[in-house]
Structure 1
Amino acid sequence: MLSLIKLPQVLTINQVPKVFHEDGIISGYRYPYSSAQDCVLSLFQLTNETLNIWTHFLPTWFFLWKLLMVLVEEEWQEDTYCWPLLVFLVSCCLYPLASSCAHTFSTMSERARHICFFFDYGALSFYSLGSAITYSSYVFPEKWVNSPFHKYYIPAATLNSVISTGLACYSRSTVKSAAKLGKGLRIVAFTFPYLFDNIPLFYRMFMCTGEGCTVNDATAVHYQHTALALLTGFLFATHLPERLAPGSFDYIGHSHQLFHVFAIIGTYFQLTAIELDMTLRKRWLQAHSQPITFTNTVGAAILCVASSVCIISIFSRTLFSTRHKKNDDLKRSHFSVASDSW
Protein backbone atom coordinates (compact mmCIF):
# COMPACT_ATOMS: atom_id res chain seq x y z
CA MET A 1 0.00 0.00 0.00
CA LEU A 2 2.75 2.45 0.95
CA SER A 3 4.47 1.77 -2.38
CA LEU A 4 1.51 3.48 -4.07
CA ILE A 5 1.91 6.61 -1.93
CA LYS A 6 4.52 9.24 -2.73
CA LEU A 7 6.53 9.73 0.44
CA PRO A 8 7.77 13.24 1.31
CA GLN A 9 11.19 14.36 0.07
CA VAL A 10 14.15 14.08 2.45
CA LEU A 11 16.60 17.01 2.49
CA THR A 12 20.08 17.95 3.72
CA ILE A 13 20.95 20.60 6.28
CA ASN A 14 21.77 23.14 3.54
CA GLN A 15 18.24 22.81 2.16
CA VAL A 16 16.30 23.72 5.29
CA PRO A 17 16.08 26.98 7.31
CA LYS A 18 18.37 27.33 10.31
CA VAL A 19 15.55 26.98 12.84
CA PHE A 20 15.16 23.33 11.78
CA HIS A 21 18.88 22.49 12.07
CA GLU A 22 20.09 19.92 14.60
CA ASP A 23 23.69 19.82 15.85
CA GLY A 24 25.74 17.17 14.06
CA ILE A 25 22.85 16.06 11.80
CA ILE A 26 23.65 16.62 8.12
CA SER A 27 20.93 14.77 6.22
CA GLY A 28 17.53 13.16 6.67
CA TYR A 29 15.59 16.39 7.19
CA ARG A 30 11.92 16.50 6.26
CA TYR A 31 10.40 19.30 4.17
CA PRO A 32 10.18 22.21 6.65
CA TYR A 33 6.68 23.36 5.64
CA SER A 34 4.98 19.99 5.37
CA SER A 35 1.27 19.32 5.51
CA ALA A 36 -0.13 17.28 8.41
CA GLN A 37 -0.57 14.37 5.98
CA ASP A 38 3.08 14.52 4.91
CA CYS A 39 4.12 14.58 8.56
CA VAL A 40 2.16 11.38 9.20
CA LEU A 41 3.51 9.74 6.03
CA SER A 42 7.05 10.54 7.14
CA LEU A 43 6.56 8.07 10.00
CA PHE A 44 6.92 5.29 7.44
CA GLN A 45 10.16 6.47 5.84
CA LEU A 46 13.61 6.77 7.38
CA THR A 47 14.40 10.36 8.37
CA ASN A 48 16.40 11.82 11.23
CA GLU A 49 13.14 12.02 13.22
CA THR A 50 11.61 8.60 12.53
CA LEU A 51 13.11 6.75 15.50
CA ASN A 52 12.60 9.80 17.73
CA ILE A 53 8.89 9.41 17.11
CA TRP A 54 8.52 5.64 17.37
CA THR A 55 10.74 5.27 20.45
CA HIS A 56 8.22 7.36 22.38
CA PHE A 57 4.96 6.54 20.59
CA LEU A 58 5.12 2.78 21.15
CA PRO A 59 5.97 2.94 24.89
CA THR A 60 2.93 5.21 25.38
CA TRP A 61 0.74 2.16 24.84
CA PHE A 62 2.64 0.13 27.43
CA PHE A 63 2.12 2.80 30.09
CA LEU A 64 -1.52 3.18 29.04
CA TRP A 65 -1.94 -0.58 29.54
CA LYS A 66 -0.36 -0.28 33.02
CA LEU A 67 -2.74 2.57 33.84
CA LEU A 68 -5.77 0.59 32.71
CA MET A 69 -4.65 -2.42 34.77
CA VAL A 70 -4.54 -0.29 37.92
CA LEU A 71 -7.95 1.19 37.15
CA VAL A 72 -9.44 -2.27 36.63
CA GLU A 73 -7.72 -4.17 39.44
CA GLU A 74 -7.63 -1.58 42.24
CA GLU A 75 -10.56 -0.08 44.10
CA TRP A 76 -9.18 3.37 43.38
CA GLN A 77 -12.45 5.22 44.00
CA GLU A 78 -12.25 4.37 47.72
CA ASP A 79 -8.54 3.60 48.16
CA THR A 80 -6.63 6.87 48.09
CA TYR A 81 -3.35 4.98 48.54
CA CYS A 82 -3.23 4.22 44.80
CA TRP A 83 -4.01 7.79 43.66
CA PRO A 84 -0.34 8.88 43.47
CA LEU A 85 0.42 5.87 41.26
CA LEU A 86 -2.48 6.78 38.97
CA VAL A 87 -1.22 10.36 38.62
CA PHE A 88 2.27 9.10 37.84
CA LEU A 89 0.98 6.64 35.22
CA VAL A 90 -1.03 9.40 33.53
CA SER A 91 2.15 11.49 33.35
CA CYS A 92 4.03 8.47 31.95
CA CYS A 93 1.43 8.23 29.17
CA LEU A 94 1.38 11.94 28.38
CA TYR A 95 5.06 12.80 28.15
CA PRO A 96 6.05 10.21 25.47
CA LEU A 97 2.81 10.87 23.56
CA ALA A 98 3.40 14.64 23.58
CA SER A 99 7.01 14.08 22.52
CA SER A 100 6.11 11.80 19.62
CA CYS A 101 3.42 14.24 18.41
CA ALA A 102 5.84 17.17 18.72
CA HIS A 103 8.47 15.40 16.62
CA THR A 104 5.83 14.29 14.10
CA PHE A 105 4.25 17.68 13.38
CA SER A 106 7.16 20.03 14.12
CA THR A 107 7.93 20.50 10.41
CA MET A 108 4.56 22.04 9.51
CA SER A 109 5.98 25.55 10.06
CA GLU A 110 8.32 27.45 12.36
CA ARG A 111 5.39 28.47 14.56
CA ALA A 112 4.05 24.93 14.65
CA ARG A 113 7.49 23.68 15.66
CA HIS A 114 7.60 26.01 18.65
CA ILE A 115 4.04 25.23 19.75
CA CYS A 116 4.55 21.48 19.41
CA PHE A 117 7.54 21.63 21.72
CA PHE A 118 5.73 23.94 24.15
CA PHE A 119 3.33 21.04 24.77
CA ASP A 120 6.27 18.64 24.98
CA TYR A 121 7.81 20.79 27.72
CA GLY A 122 4.50 21.02 29.58
CA ALA A 123 4.15 17.22 29.54
CA LEU A 124 7.70 16.79 30.86
CA SER A 125 6.97 19.22 33.69
CA PHE A 126 3.83 17.25 34.55
CA TYR A 127 5.87 14.04 34.57
CA SER A 128 8.26 15.69 37.01
CA LEU A 129 5.36 16.49 39.33
CA GLY A 130 3.97 12.96 38.90
CA SER A 131 7.31 11.62 40.11
CA ALA A 132 7.28 13.96 43.11
CA ILE A 133 3.75 12.92 44.10
CA THR A 134 4.70 9.23 44.17
CA TYR A 135 7.95 9.98 46.00
CA SER A 136 6.04 11.89 48.67
CA SER A 137 3.60 9.01 49.12
CA TYR A 138 5.81 5.93 48.77
CA VAL A 139 9.55 6.74 48.58
CA PHE A 140 10.40 9.23 51.36
CA PRO A 141 12.88 7.75 53.85
CA GLU A 142 11.31 6.97 57.21
CA LYS A 143 13.49 9.60 58.90
CA TRP A 144 11.91 12.37 56.81
CA VAL A 145 8.28 11.25 56.88
CA ASN A 146 6.05 14.01 58.35
CA SER A 147 8.99 16.43 58.52
CA PRO A 148 8.49 20.12 57.56
CA PHE A 149 10.20 19.35 54.23
CA HIS A 150 7.72 16.53 53.61
CA LYS A 151 4.82 18.85 54.42
CA TYR A 152 5.82 21.46 51.84
CA TYR A 153 7.36 19.08 49.31
CA ILE A 154 4.33 18.76 46.98
CA PRO A 155 3.47 22.51 46.93
CA ALA A 156 7.12 23.28 46.10
CA ALA A 157 7.25 20.56 43.42
CA THR A 158 4.05 21.92 41.87
CA LEU A 159 5.50 25.43 41.73
CA ASN A 160 8.75 24.09 40.27
CA SER A 161 6.84 22.27 37.52
CA VAL A 162 4.93 25.41 36.54
CA ILE A 163 8.13 27.48 36.51
CA SER A 164 9.81 24.75 34.46
CA THR A 165 7.13 24.98 31.76
CA GLY A 166 7.36 28.77 31.69
CA LEU A 167 11.15 28.86 31.51
CA ALA A 168 11.30 26.16 28.83
CA CYS A 169 8.70 27.94 26.67
CA TYR A 170 10.52 31.25 27.21
CA SER A 171 13.80 29.66 26.11
CA ARG A 172 12.22 28.66 22.81
CA SER A 173 10.07 31.66 21.92
CA THR A 174 12.04 34.62 23.26
CA VAL A 175 15.68 33.69 22.77
CA LYS A 176 15.37 32.13 19.31
CA SER A 177 18.33 34.15 18.03
CA ALA A 178 20.61 32.65 20.72
CA ALA A 179 20.30 28.90 20.31
CA LYS A 180 22.96 28.03 22.89
CA LEU A 181 21.37 30.31 25.49
CA GLY A 182 17.98 28.76 24.79
CA LYS A 183 19.38 25.26 25.15
CA GLY A 184 21.08 26.25 28.41
CA LEU A 185 17.83 27.64 29.81
CA ARG A 186 15.99 24.43 28.91
CA ILE A 187 18.63 22.36 30.68
CA VAL A 188 18.17 24.51 33.79
CA ALA A 189 14.37 24.36 33.42
CA PHE A 190 14.32 20.57 33.65
CA THR A 191 17.38 19.92 35.80
CA PHE A 192 16.27 21.97 38.79
CA PRO A 193 12.86 20.24 39.24
CA TYR A 194 14.55 16.85 38.78
CA LEU A 195 17.13 17.61 41.48
CA PHE A 196 14.51 18.96 43.87
CA ASP A 197 12.10 16.06 43.33
CA ASN A 198 14.87 13.56 43.97
CA ILE A 199 16.20 15.08 47.21
CA PRO A 200 14.44 12.46 49.39
CA LEU A 201 15.55 9.64 47.10
CA PHE A 202 19.16 10.86 46.89
CA TYR A 203 19.26 11.20 50.68
CA ARG A 204 17.86 7.71 51.08
CA MET A 205 20.33 6.17 48.62
CA PHE A 206 23.55 8.08 49.24
CA MET A 207 23.51 9.83 52.61
CA CYS A 208 21.17 8.14 55.07
CA THR A 209 22.73 5.80 57.65
CA GLY A 210 21.33 3.74 60.48
CA GLU A 211 17.66 3.11 61.21
CA GLY A 212 14.93 4.77 59.19
CA CYS A 213 16.78 4.73 55.89
CA THR A 214 14.29 2.42 54.17
CA VAL A 215 16.56 -0.15 52.54
CA ASN A 216 14.47 -2.75 50.71
CA ASP A 217 14.17 -4.54 47.36
CA ALA A 218 13.28 -1.26 45.64
CA THR A 219 16.62 0.35 46.50
CA ALA A 220 18.63 -1.43 43.79
CA VAL A 221 16.03 -0.47 41.16
CA HIS A 222 16.17 3.16 42.29
CA TYR A 223 19.92 3.08 41.61
CA GLN A 224 19.23 1.79 38.09
CA HIS A 225 16.70 4.43 37.08
CA THR A 226 18.82 7.17 38.64
CA ALA A 227 21.83 6.09 36.56
CA LEU A 228 19.67 6.08 33.42
CA ALA A 229 18.33 9.56 34.25
CA LEU A 230 21.88 10.91 34.53
CA LEU A 231 22.76 9.27 31.20
CA THR A 232 19.77 10.84 29.44
CA GLY A 233 20.70 14.26 30.81
CA PHE A 234 24.27 13.79 29.58
CA LEU A 235 23.07 12.86 26.07
CA PHE A 236 20.68 15.82 25.91
CA ALA A 237 23.35 18.30 26.97
CA THR A 238 26.30 17.04 24.91
CA HIS A 239 24.84 15.94 21.53
CA LEU A 240 27.10 12.89 21.52
CA PRO A 241 27.95 10.88 19.46
CA GLU A 242 26.93 12.93 16.37
CA ARG A 243 28.99 15.88 17.53
CA LEU A 244 32.17 13.80 17.13
CA ALA A 245 31.26 12.56 13.65
CA PRO A 246 28.70 14.86 11.96
CA GLY A 247 26.68 12.99 9.35
CA SER A 248 27.49 9.51 10.66
CA PHE A 249 24.47 9.22 12.96
CA ASP A 250 21.86 11.13 10.98
CA TYR A 251 19.30 8.33 10.85
CA ILE A 252 20.26 5.87 13.58
CA GLY A 253 22.19 6.38 16.81
CA HIS A 254 22.19 10.14 17.34
CA SER A 255 21.87 11.56 20.85
CA HIS A 256 18.18 12.41 20.76
CA GLN A 257 17.26 8.86 19.78
CA LEU A 258 19.44 7.47 22.55
CA PHE A 259 17.98 10.09 24.90
CA HIS A 260 14.48 8.81 24.12
CA VAL A 261 15.42 5.15 24.51
CA PHE A 262 17.22 5.55 27.84
CA ALA A 263 14.53 7.92 29.15
CA ILE A 264 11.82 5.33 28.51
CA ILE A 265 13.87 2.50 30.01
CA GLY A 266 14.59 4.73 33.00
CA THR A 267 10.89 5.48 33.41
CA TYR A 268 10.13 1.75 33.35
CA PHE A 269 12.67 1.11 36.13
CA GLN A 270 11.35 4.12 38.03
CA LEU A 271 7.82 2.71 37.83
CA THR A 272 9.08 -0.70 38.99
CA ALA A 273 10.85 0.85 42.00
CA ILE A 274 7.79 2.93 42.90
CA GLU A 275 5.52 -0.12 42.74
CA LEU A 276 7.93 -2.08 44.98
CA ASP A 277 8.05 0.69 47.58
CA MET A 278 4.28 1.10 47.35
CA THR A 279 3.73 -2.59 48.09
CA LEU A 280 6.51 -3.26 50.60
CA ARG A 281 5.92 -0.12 52.68
CA LYS A 282 2.13 0.08 52.53
CA ARG A 283 1.38 -0.96 56.11
CA TRP A 284 4.05 1.29 57.65
CA LEU A 285 3.19 4.31 55.49
CA GLN A 286 -0.53 4.06 56.15
CA ALA A 287 0.20 3.97 59.88
CA HIS A 288 2.83 6.72 60.07
CA SER A 289 2.87 8.97 56.98
CA GLN A 290 0.75 12.03 56.28
CA PRO A 291 -2.60 11.18 54.67
CA ILE A 292 -2.92 10.94 50.89
CA THR A 293 -5.60 13.41 49.85
CA PHE A 294 -7.13 14.84 46.69
CA THR A 295 -5.21 18.08 47.31
CA ASN A 296 -1.72 16.56 47.40
CA THR A 297 -2.31 14.20 44.44
CA VAL A 298 -5.00 14.82 41.81
CA GLY A 299 -5.52 18.44 42.87
CA ALA A 300 -1.82 19.27 42.50
CA ALA A 301 -1.77 17.52 39.12
CA ILE A 302 -4.81 19.48 37.86
CA LEU A 303 -3.28 22.76 39.05
CA CYS A 304 -0.02 21.93 37.25
CA VAL A 305 -1.79 21.01 34.00
CA ALA A 306 -4.08 24.07 34.08
CA SER A 307 -1.16 26.41 34.77
CA SER A 308 0.97 24.86 32.04
CA VAL A 309 -1.88 25.14 29.50
CA CYS A 310 -2.25 28.84 30.37
CA ILE A 311 1.49 29.39 29.98
CA ILE A 312 1.56 27.52 26.65
CA SER A 313 -1.42 29.55 25.36
CA ILE A 314 0.26 32.83 26.30
CA PHE A 315 3.51 31.95 24.51
CA SER A 316 1.61 30.47 21.54
CA ARG A 317 -0.49 33.60 21.12
CA THR A 318 2.62 35.71 20.65
CA LEU A 319 3.58 33.49 17.70
CA PHE A 320 0.28 34.31 15.98
CA SER A 321 0.82 38.05 16.02
CA THR A 322 0.74 39.82 12.65
CA ARG A 323 4.53 40.28 12.67
CA HIS A 324 5.26 36.60 13.33
CA LYS A 325 2.66 35.50 10.76
CA LYS A 326 4.20 37.73 8.07
CA ASN A 327 7.70 36.46 8.89
CA ASP A 328 6.58 32.83 8.72
CA ASP A 329 4.71 33.36 5.43
CA LEU A 330 7.73 35.19 3.96
CA LYS A 331 10.11 32.39 4.94
CA ARG A 332 7.70 29.81 3.54
CA SER A 333 7.48 31.61 0.19
CA HIS A 334 11.27 32.05 -0.03
CA PHE A 335 11.79 28.38 0.78
CA SER A 336 9.20 27.31 -1.79
CA VAL A 337 10.96 29.35 -4.50
CA ALA A 338 14.32 27.85 -3.54
CA SER A 339 12.96 24.29 -3.48
CA ASP A 340 11.56 24.69 -7.01
CA SER A 341 15.13 25.14 -8.26
CA TRP A 342 16.45 21.90 -6.72
Structure 2
Amino acid sequence: MAFLTGPRLLDWASSPPHLQFNKFVLTGYRPASSGSDCLRSLFYLHNELGNIYTHGSVLYHLFMCHQGGSSVYARLLALDMCGVCLVNTLGALPIIHCTLACRPWLRPAALVGYTVLSGVAGWRALTAPSTTARLRAFGWQAGARLLVFGARGLGLGSGAPGSLPCYLRMDALALLGGLVNVARLPERWGPGRFDYWGNSHQIMHLLSVGSILQLHAGVVPDLLWAAHHACPPD
Protein backbone atom coordinates (compact mmCIF):
# COMPACT_ATOMS: atom_id res chain seq x y z
CA MET A 1 0.00 0.00 0.00
CA ALA A 2 1.34 3.42 -0.91
CA PHE A 3 0.80 5.81 1.98
CA LEU A 4 -0.15 9.43 1.40
CA THR A 5 1.23 12.44 3.19
CA GLY A 6 -1.22 13.32 5.94
CA PRO A 7 -1.84 16.51 7.92
CA ARG A 8 0.37 17.66 10.73
CA LEU A 9 -0.22 15.25 13.58
CA LEU A 10 -0.69 16.30 17.18
CA ASP A 11 0.92 15.24 20.42
CA TRP A 12 -1.08 13.99 23.39
CA ALA A 13 -1.35 17.38 25.08
CA SER A 14 -2.63 19.04 21.89
CA SER A 15 -5.19 16.38 21.02
CA PRO A 16 -8.89 16.82 21.92
CA PRO A 17 -9.65 15.93 25.56
CA HIS A 18 -11.96 13.04 24.61
CA LEU A 19 -9.03 11.38 22.81
CA GLN A 20 -6.63 11.72 25.73
CA PHE A 21 -7.45 8.29 27.16
CA ASN A 22 -3.94 6.81 26.89
CA LYS A 23 -1.31 9.15 28.30
CA PHE A 24 1.47 6.74 27.30
CA VAL A 25 0.79 7.25 23.57
CA LEU A 26 2.50 10.60 23.12
CA THR A 27 2.35 11.41 19.41
CA GLY A 28 0.57 10.66 16.15
CA TYR A 29 -2.89 12.03 16.90
CA ARG A 30 -4.96 13.20 13.93
CA PRO A 31 -6.40 16.72 14.08
CA ALA A 32 -10.17 17.27 14.05
CA SER A 33 -11.22 16.06 10.61
CA SER A 34 -14.19 16.04 8.26
CA GLY A 35 -15.73 12.74 7.26
CA SER A 36 -13.79 12.66 4.01
CA ASP A 37 -10.55 13.49 5.82
CA CYS A 38 -11.22 10.64 8.26
CA LEU A 39 -11.55 8.29 5.28
CA ARG A 40 -8.35 9.70 3.82
CA SER A 41 -6.56 8.73 7.03
CA LEU A 42 -6.79 5.13 5.87
CA PHE A 43 -3.80 5.93 3.69
CA TYR A 44 -1.32 7.79 5.88
CA LEU A 45 0.48 6.86 9.06
CA HIS A 46 -0.99 7.92 12.42
CA ASN A 47 -1.42 6.27 15.80
CA GLU A 48 -4.84 4.75 15.01
CA LEU A 49 -3.85 3.15 11.71
CA GLY A 50 -2.87 -0.16 13.29
CA ASN A 51 -6.15 -0.27 15.21
CA ILE A 52 -8.15 0.36 12.03
CA TYR A 53 -6.49 -2.47 10.14
CA THR A 54 -6.38 -5.09 12.90
CA HIS A 55 -9.98 -5.28 14.11
CA GLY A 56 -13.69 -5.01 13.39
CA SER A 57 -14.00 -1.68 15.22
CA VAL A 58 -13.25 0.14 12.00
CA LEU A 59 -15.87 2.89 12.26
CA TYR A 60 -14.90 3.79 15.83
CA HIS A 61 -11.18 4.03 15.15
CA LEU A 62 -11.54 5.64 11.73
CA PHE A 63 -13.95 8.43 12.69
CA MET A 64 -13.01 9.02 16.34
CA CYS A 65 -11.20 12.24 15.34
CA HIS A 66 -14.27 13.61 13.54
CA GLN A 67 -14.75 17.35 13.84
CA GLY A 68 -18.11 16.70 15.51
CA GLY A 69 -16.10 16.29 18.71
CA SER A 70 -17.03 14.43 21.86
CA SER A 71 -20.68 13.91 20.91
CA VAL A 72 -19.74 12.03 17.74
CA TYR A 73 -17.06 10.15 19.65
CA ALA A 74 -19.57 9.06 22.30
CA ARG A 75 -21.91 7.66 19.64
CA LEU A 76 -19.06 5.81 17.94
CA LEU A 77 -17.96 4.33 21.27
CA ALA A 78 -21.53 3.25 22.02
CA LEU A 79 -21.75 1.56 18.62
CA ASP A 80 -18.45 -0.20 19.28
CA MET A 81 -19.62 -1.43 22.69
CA CYS A 82 -22.84 -2.74 21.13
CA GLY A 83 -20.74 -4.70 18.66
CA VAL A 84 -18.63 -6.22 21.43
CA CYS A 85 -21.76 -7.14 23.37
CA LEU A 86 -23.34 -8.77 20.30
CA VAL A 87 -20.23 -10.86 19.67
CA ASN A 88 -20.23 -12.00 23.30
CA THR A 89 -23.95 -12.77 23.14
CA LEU A 90 -24.36 -14.41 19.75
CA GLY A 91 -21.11 -16.32 20.13
CA ALA A 92 -22.22 -17.91 23.39
CA LEU A 93 -25.77 -18.89 22.44
CA PRO A 94 -24.78 -21.86 20.22
CA ILE A 95 -22.39 -23.02 22.95
CA ILE A 96 -25.24 -23.03 25.48
CA HIS A 97 -27.55 -24.69 22.96
CA CYS A 98 -25.13 -27.57 22.35
CA THR A 99 -24.05 -27.94 25.98
CA LEU A 100 -27.66 -28.33 27.10
CA ALA A 101 -28.85 -30.20 23.99
CA CYS A 102 -30.04 -33.13 26.10
CA ARG A 103 -31.65 -30.96 28.78
CA PRO A 104 -34.68 -29.49 26.97
CA TRP A 105 -36.23 -28.17 30.19
CA LEU A 106 -33.11 -26.19 31.11
CA ARG A 107 -31.85 -25.05 27.70
CA PRO A 108 -34.51 -22.38 26.95
CA ALA A 109 -34.15 -20.89 30.43
CA ALA A 110 -30.37 -20.73 30.06
CA LEU A 111 -30.58 -19.11 26.62
CA VAL A 112 -33.07 -16.49 27.80
CA GLY A 113 -31.13 -15.90 31.02
CA TYR A 114 -27.86 -15.35 29.17
CA THR A 115 -29.55 -12.99 26.72
CA VAL A 116 -31.00 -10.90 29.57
CA LEU A 117 -27.64 -10.90 31.35
CA SER A 118 -25.99 -9.74 28.13
CA GLY A 119 -28.43 -6.85 27.88
CA VAL A 120 -27.52 -5.73 31.40
CA ALA A 121 -23.81 -6.14 30.70
CA GLY A 122 -24.14 -4.17 27.48
CA TRP A 123 -25.89 -1.31 29.24
CA ARG A 124 -23.23 -1.20 31.95
CA ALA A 125 -20.52 -1.17 29.30
CA LEU A 126 -22.24 1.67 27.47
CA THR A 127 -22.42 3.77 30.64
CA ALA A 128 -19.03 2.76 32.07
CA PRO A 129 -16.75 5.70 32.90
CA SER A 130 -13.48 3.87 32.16
CA THR A 131 -11.93 0.91 30.35
CA THR A 132 -11.64 -0.92 33.68
CA ALA A 133 -15.37 -0.52 34.31
CA ARG A 134 -16.15 -1.74 30.79
CA LEU A 135 -14.01 -4.83 31.33
CA ARG A 136 -15.87 -5.55 34.57
CA ALA A 137 -19.21 -5.14 32.78
CA PHE A 138 -18.35 -7.81 30.23
CA GLY A 139 -17.02 -9.97 33.05
CA TRP A 140 -20.63 -10.93 33.89
CA GLN A 141 -20.95 -12.62 30.52
CA ALA A 142 -17.61 -14.35 30.97
CA GLY A 143 -18.68 -15.65 34.37
CA ALA A 144 -21.87 -17.11 32.92
CA ARG A 145 -19.90 -18.80 30.14
CA LEU A 146 -17.54 -20.32 32.69
CA LEU A 147 -20.53 -21.91 34.42
CA VAL A 148 -21.53 -23.49 31.11
CA PHE A 149 -17.97 -24.67 30.47
CA GLY A 150 -17.82 -26.10 34.00
CA ALA A 151 -21.03 -28.04 33.43
CA ARG A 152 -19.59 -29.55 30.27
CA GLY A 153 -16.28 -30.35 31.91
CA LEU A 154 -18.01 -32.14 34.77
CA GLY A 155 -20.09 -34.23 32.41
CA LEU A 156 -23.31 -32.36 33.18
CA GLY A 157 -23.47 -31.01 29.64
CA SER A 158 -22.89 -32.34 26.15
CA GLY A 159 -21.11 -31.34 22.96
CA ALA A 160 -18.48 -32.30 20.45
CA PRO A 161 -15.24 -33.74 21.85
CA GLY A 162 -12.51 -31.15 21.56
CA SER A 163 -14.76 -28.08 21.52
CA LEU A 164 -14.39 -27.24 25.21
CA PRO A 165 -10.62 -26.51 25.03
CA CYS A 166 -11.33 -24.14 22.13
CA TYR A 167 -13.84 -22.26 24.26
CA LEU A 168 -11.44 -22.04 27.18
CA ARG A 169 -8.74 -20.65 24.91
CA MET A 170 -11.33 -18.26 23.45
CA ASP A 171 -12.10 -16.68 26.82
CA ALA A 172 -8.47 -16.79 27.96
CA LEU A 173 -7.39 -14.78 24.90
CA ALA A 174 -10.25 -12.31 25.34
CA LEU A 175 -9.44 -11.83 29.03
CA LEU A 176 -5.74 -11.40 28.32
CA GLY A 177 -6.54 -8.78 25.69
CA GLY A 178 -8.79 -6.89 28.08
CA LEU A 179 -6.17 -6.92 30.84
CA VAL A 180 -3.41 -5.76 28.49
CA ASN A 181 -5.62 -2.90 27.31
CA VAL A 182 -6.51 -1.81 30.84
CA ALA A 183 -2.88 -2.06 31.99
CA ARG A 184 -1.66 -0.04 28.95
CA LEU A 185 1.18 -2.47 28.32
CA PRO A 186 3.76 -2.28 26.86
CA GLU A 187 3.56 1.50 26.29
CA ARG A 188 3.45 2.10 30.05
CA TRP A 189 7.02 0.77 30.19
CA GLY A 190 8.20 3.07 27.40
CA PRO A 191 5.96 6.08 26.76
CA GLY A 192 6.29 7.20 23.16
CA ARG A 193 7.98 4.00 21.93
CA PHE A 194 4.75 2.28 20.91
CA ASP A 195 2.76 5.24 19.61
CA TYR A 196 2.25 3.76 16.14
CA TRP A 197 2.80 0.03 16.45
CA GLY A 198 2.68 -2.59 19.17
CA ASN A 199 0.65 -0.72 21.81
CA SER A 200 -1.88 -2.32 24.12
CA HIS A 201 -4.97 -1.63 22.02
CA GLN A 202 -3.44 -3.22 18.94
CA ILE A 203 -2.40 -6.24 21.00
CA MET A 204 -5.94 -6.50 22.35
CA HIS A 205 -7.29 -6.42 18.79
CA LEU A 206 -5.02 -9.26 17.69
CA LEU A 207 -5.90 -11.34 20.74
CA SER A 208 -9.59 -10.69 20.04
CA VAL A 209 -9.17 -12.02 16.52
CA GLY A 210 -7.53 -15.12 17.97
CA SER A 211 -10.41 -15.46 20.41
CA ILE A 212 -12.99 -15.36 17.61
CA LEU A 213 -11.03 -17.97 15.64
CA GLN A 214 -11.12 -20.24 18.69
CA LEU A 215 -14.88 -19.68 18.94
CA HIS A 216 -15.25 -20.74 15.31
CA ALA A 217 -13.04 -23.79 15.85
CA GLY A 218 -15.27 -24.91 18.72
CA VAL A 219 -18.74 -23.98 17.47
CA VAL A 220 -18.56 -25.60 14.03
CA PRO A 221 -17.96 -29.15 15.33
CA ASP A 222 -20.42 -28.50 18.17
CA LEU A 223 -23.23 -27.62 15.75
CA LEU A 224 -22.40 -30.59 13.51
CA TRP A 225 -22.47 -32.82 16.59
CA ALA A 226 -25.82 -31.41 17.72
CA ALA A 227 -27.34 -31.97 14.27
CA HIS A 228 -26.64 -35.72 14.40
CA HIS A 229 -26.62 -36.55 18.09
CA ALA A 230 -29.50 -38.48 19.61
CA CYS A 231 -30.03 -37.84 23.31
CA PRO A 232 -30.60 -40.86 25.53
CA PRO A 233 -34.20 -41.39 26.67
CA ASP A 234 -35.10 -39.94 30.05
TM class, shorter-chain normalised? 0.7 to 0.9
Structure 1 residue 219 displacement after superposition:
3.3
**Corresponding residue of 2:64:** 106
- 1:242 deviation in Å? 0.8
Task: Look up the match of 1:164.
Answer: 121
* Change in 2 beyond 3 A, CA 1:184/1:244: same
Assess if the C-alpha contact under 8 Å between 2:149 and 2:164 holds in 1. Answer: no
| Distance (whole Å) between structure 1 residues aligned to residue 216 and residue 29 of structure 2 | 34
Alignment of 1:32-71 (within 5 A): 33-56=32-55
TM-score in terms of structure 1 length: 0.61
Does 1:244 pair with 2:189? yes
Q: 1:107 to 1:288 in 2, by over 3 A?
A: farther
Contact 2:6 2:41 (C-alpha < 8 Å) held by counterparts: yes
Return the alpha-carbon distance in structure 1 between the equivalents of residues 123 and 222 of structure 2.
32
Residues 29 and 47 in structure 1, CA contact (< 8 A), matched pair in contact too? yes
Deviating 4+ runs (over 4 angstroms): 211-215
RMSD after superposition:
2.5
- Residue 149 of structure 2 corresponds to 201
Does the C-alpha gap of structure 1 residues 228 and 184 become closer, same or farther in structure 2, counting only changes over 3 Å?
Answer: closer
Alpha-carbon distance in structure 2 between the residues aligned to 1:220 and 1:164:
25
In 2, Cα distance between equivalents of 1:121 and 1:55: 17
Matches within 5 A, 1:305-316: none
Query: Residue 89 of structure 2 contacts residue 115 of structure 2 at CA under 8 Å; is this kept in 1?
Result: yes
Find the counterpart in structure 2 of residue 186 from structure 1. Answer: 134
- Tell me the TM-score normalized by structure 2: 0.87
**Equivalent residues of 1:48, 1:250 under 8 A apart:** yes
SS in 2 for 1:27: coil
* 2:90 match: 130
Q: SS at the partner of 2:10? A: strand
Instruction: Looking at secondary structure, tell me which structure has more helix per residue.
Output: 1
Q: Give the C-alpha shift of residue 185 in structure 1.
A: 2.2
Describe the shift of the 1:202–1:246 C-alpha distance in structure 2 as closer, same or farther (beyond 3 A).
farther
Which residue is equivalent to 1:332? Answer: none
The CA distance in 2 between the partners of 1:169 and 1:219, in whole Å, is 30
Aligned-partner Cα distance in 2 for 1:147–1:244: 52
Gaps of 5+ in 1: 57-95, 176-181, 290-342
Identity %, equivalent residues: 24
Asked if the contact 1:8/1:38 (under 8 Å) is kept, the reply is no
Shift of 1:263: 0.2
CA distance in 1 between counterparts of 2:232 and 2:71 reads 51
- Where structure 2 has 5 or more consecutive residues not aligned to the other structure, the ranges are none
